[in-house]
Amino acid sequence: MKFLDQVEIIVESGKGGAGSTSFRREKFVPRGGPDGGDGGKGGDLIFFVNPGVNTLLHLSNKKLFKAQSGVNGAENQKTGANGEDLIIEVPEGTVVKDENGELLLDLKEKNQKYIFLKGGRGGKGNTFFKSSINQAPTKAQPGEEGERKSIALELKLMADVGLIGYPNVGKSTLISVVSAAKPKIADYPFTTLTPSLGMVDLLDGKTCVIADIPGLIPGAHKGIGLGTQFLRHISRTRVFLHIIDASPFTDRDSWQDYQDIREELKAHDIANVKTPDYLPLENRKEIVVLNKLDTIKESDAEELAHKFKKHGVNCIGISAISQHGLSELKFKIKEVLYGEKTDA
């Protein structure tokens, strides 16, 4: 399935139906009074958070989404039918913004409906205006106009654990072995172009949702590489699983890699400090993982872990390929998420 996490559309609620100007025309009733009915209400524009939807792709093939207008009133005091509501299904974690980027609605409760634009009120027919001094009113109200907005929908994945780190450090491999998710895996950077979600069994009835998100490189907060997409998606994860490539085949330094990613989180926080309800990334809970230990000697792995520990950073060593250390990693995730310590 193709993935799309941003779309710009125009939404409009339905216009109310017009009231009717009508008079009774019956045989043997020479002075029939007013009998114009009211117009129907316009349909509402509603967002529905469907847990079965995970992309905004279905909204990309048209620009205008408009609810049905109410039907006009008719003679014999017939009220026009209400216009049908238009329900737009979106994934959990979608936010609605106006043209200026201001947050209008946060769609984060699954299976919930949110009325975004209310339909216009139906106009009153001339029957409504009949009085003792005006027995034959010719006045009727037009229907109220619906609301119209140009908006941007933006999907921010909601997960318990977000995998962060440089491209090609083994994030996709890790999520593929701890969950049923099957992301694309290859030995070149930016294999993961779109996020993947997987459910991980932590035992004792505990589970967590883990997100494999496009990798970071220096300058990501300025939009370099896939950075801005990455940073947007990790904003709603509770815990970061920071994956470090410990293999000797990369020309980068493991500790420098860690510092680079931390700097990007900090820079993104600075750029968004004035954003309403923004939760800083730099202070998010973090589990640091040294991956690809199957490619180095045990003594070298211990030395690398010690290097991190000297800087106050504790690490868990794993090999996603051989699945070494994954039980310990799950125990640690469970401890951080649920506050439960378990002996490995």
Rounded Cα–Cα distance for residues 129 and 133 (Å): 10
User: In whole angstroms, what separates CA 330 from the centre of its chain?
Assistant: 26
Give the helix/strand (H/E) hosting 289.
strand 285-291
Q: Which residue is associated with the tokens 């779309």?
A: 7
- Which has the closest alpha carbon to 172: 153, 190, 154? 190
Which region among 165-169, 223-227, 259-263 has the lowest average model confidence (pLDDT)? 223-227
- What percent of the chain stands above pLDDT 90? 51
Cβ–Cβ < 8 Å for 22, 35? yes
Q: What is the pLDDT of residue 63?
A: 95
pLDDT digits (tens, 9 = 90+) for 275-313: 777 778 888 899 999 999 999 999 999 999 999 999 999
For residues 169 and 40, the model is more confident at: 40
Q: What is the pLDDT of residue 300?
A: 93
Q: What is the pLDDT of residue 192?
A: 45
pLDDT digits (tens, 9 = 90+) for 73-132: 999 999 999 999 999 999 888 999 999 888 899 998 889 999 999 999 999 999 999 988
pLDDT classification of 154: cutoffs 50, 70, 90: confident
- At residue 73, what are phi and psi to the nearest 5 degrees? -70, 170
pLDDT digits (tens, 9 = 90+) for 182-228: 544 444 443 444 567 788 888 777 888 888 776 554 554 444 444 45
Question: 305: which 2 tokens?
Answer: 């872990």
Q: What is the pLDDT of residue 119?
A: 97
The model scores a pTM over 0.75: no
All structural domains of the chain: 1-155 (2.70.210.12), 161-338 (3.40.50.300)
Rounded Cα–Cα distance for residues 154 and 50 (Å): 15
For residues 70 and 166, the model is more confident at: 70
> What is the bridge-based pairing of β-strands 113-117 and 196-201?
unpaired
Q: What is the pLDDT of residue 183?
A: 45
- What percent of the chain stands above pLDDT 70? 84
User: Which letter does DSSP use for residue 295 in this model?
Assistant: G
